[in-house]
Amino acid sequence: MAKKYEIAEALLRINAVALSLDPPFTWVSGIRSPIYCDNRLLISHPTERNLVVNSFLEVINSMDRKPDCIAGTATSGIPFAAWVADRMNLPMCYVRAKKKAHGKGKAIEGEVYEGEKVLVIEDLISTGKSSVAVVQNLLEAGLEVTGVVAIFSYEMEKAKENFNRVNIVPQPMETISSLLELAVSNGTLSQGNAILVNDFRNDPPGWYQRNFPDTP
């Protein structure tokens, strides 16, 4: 496994983490946030992406139940799932949160077979809604999901609630807590701004209302 802070250091090094308090970022879910982690930048940095892929492999190889197939979440989990599957010489598929509205209307792309054990590779967990939808699509196809491994998690309570619905505890390799610890210790982030980000993590809607009371 990567050393403590090693992945956080990599994300900061390639500027994958950005902070903007005013205006905040708007996530695809509609949540307004002071922090944005863009793990997709890793695909352009061979050293950092190899660190992440190697860490994925260490986590997966330490698991009791070995997968028959590696599933990437569409779209950001796809390249990492491809690299992991290639290293492990395993089949790969990718899974959408929603079925296509055209063609064959599939949620799962690639060949999978009922009863197979599938491990899901995710790049980032915020509320966990899309990751859980991917798990549910795999379960509905008769597959056994052995786990969800992610590069980064915002450690939101909502994510825990969503994953409880499918009886899975995700395994992020980096979290917002460790990233903030590192950013404060190396001077990238002030202690005050770290407190603001933690306030957001603990209560996203409340954070926005407290800081932008006059904005809808």
Provide the pLDDT confidence category of residue 96 given band limits of 50, 70 and 90.
very high
Tell me, what's the pLDDT at 202?
87
Query: Is 100 within the bounds of a domain?
Result: yes
Query: Is 216 within the bounds of a domain?
Result: no
Average the pLDDT over 19-27 and give the result. Answer: 90
Which neighbouring-strand residues pair with 70? 92, 119
Tell me, what's the pLDDT at 215?
79
Number of domains in the chain: 1
pLDDT tens for residues 187-216? 988 999 899 898 998 899 899 999 888 877
Task: Tell me if the pTM is above 0.75.
Answer: yes
Average the pLDDT over 138-148 and give the result. Answer: 97
Give the CA distances from residue 200 to residues 84, 128, 133, in Å, rounded to whole numbers and listed in that order: 33, 16, 24
For residue 159, pLDDT over 70 is answered with yes
Average the pLDDT over 97-105 and give the result. Answer: 76
The CATH number of residue 174's host domain is 3.40.50.2020
Query: Is 60 within the bounds of a domain?
Result: yes
Give the CA distances from residue 204 to residues 20, 103, 146, 207, in Å, rounded to whole numbers and listed in that order: 15, 38, 30, 5
Dist. CA 168–CA 78, nearest whole Å: 20
Contact 26, 216 (CB under 8 A): no
Query: Is 166 within the bounds of a domain?
Result: yes
**Cβ neighbours of residue 36 closer than 8 Å, sequence gap 6 or more:** 17, 18, 19, 20, 25, 27
DSSP labels for 97-109?
Answer: SS--SSTT--SEE
Query: Is 156 within the bounds of a domain?
Result: yes
Please state whether 86 falls in left (phi above 0), alpha (psi between -120 and 50) or beta. alpha
Range of the domain at 26: 6-211
The residue assigned the tokens 């409880």 is 164
Query: Is 1 within the bounds of a domain?
Result: no
Contact 67, 118 (CB under 8 A): yes
